[in-house]
Structure 1
Amino acid sequence: MGAIVIKADNRSRKILKELAEQLGAQVTDIKDDQYEDFLLGQIMDSEKTGKTVSRAKIFNKLSSK
C-alpha cells in the first residue's frame, strides 16, 4: 500500500478528501507540525551517508563553534 501527501488550502483539501473517500481510500488529516516533521525526516533520509563518526570528532566540532 502506498500513500500520497497533498498540501492544499481548506477548500481544496475538503474536495480532495471527499473524492478520496468516495473512491474508497482511507484519509488521514495531519497538522502542519506533523507535515513539517515528515519533511524533516525526508531531508534527513536523503542526507544519510552511511558513514560513522567518532564521539570525539563530534564534540570537537561542537566545541569549536
Structure 2
Amino acid sequence: MDTILLKAKSKENLNLLIKLAKKLGVEVSVLSEKATEEIAMVAAIKEGKTGKLSDTDNFIKGLKSDFAS
C-alpha cells in the first residue's frame, strides 16, 4: 500500500488531518522530527548509491574546491 507524508503548519491543522484520516478508515502514524529526518537520510543514501567507487583524488579535490574561499 502507498504512504503519504504530510507536514502541517500548525498542531491544530495536523490534528484535523489525523481526525479526517481516521474517519475515512486510513491508518495514521505520527512520526517525530528525528524519525522523519532519518527516513529522508535513508532515501538520499539509496538514491546516491550506485555501486560504483569514486575516484578518491577527484573526490578530495572537489571537497577542497567546495570549501576554498
Sort the TM-score into its range (normalised by shorter chain).
0.7 to 0.9
| TM-score normalised according to structure 1 size | 0.72
Aligned-partner Cα distance in 1 for 2:7–2:29? 13
Q: Which residue of 1 aligns with 2:26?
A: 25
Runs (4 or more) in structure 1 with deviation over 4 Å come to none
Give RMSD over aligned pairs.
Answer: 1.4
Q: Which residue of 1 aligns with 2:61?
A: none
SS in 2 for 1:49: coil
Aligned-partner Cα distance in 1 for 2:52–2:37? 26
Aligned-partner Cα distance in 2 for 1:10–1:42? 26
- One-letter amino acid of the counterpart of residue 36, structure 1: E
Aligned-partner Cα distance in 1 for 2:4–2:47? 18
Q: Which residue of 2 aligns with 1:6?
A: 6
| TM-score normalised according to structure 2 size | 0.69
Identity of aligned residues (%): 28
1:34 aligns with 2:35: yes
Aligned residues: 53
Which sections of structure 2, spanning at least 5 residues, go unmatched? 55-69
Which sections of structure 1, spanning at least 5 residues, go unmatched? 54-65
1:15 aligns with 2:16: yes
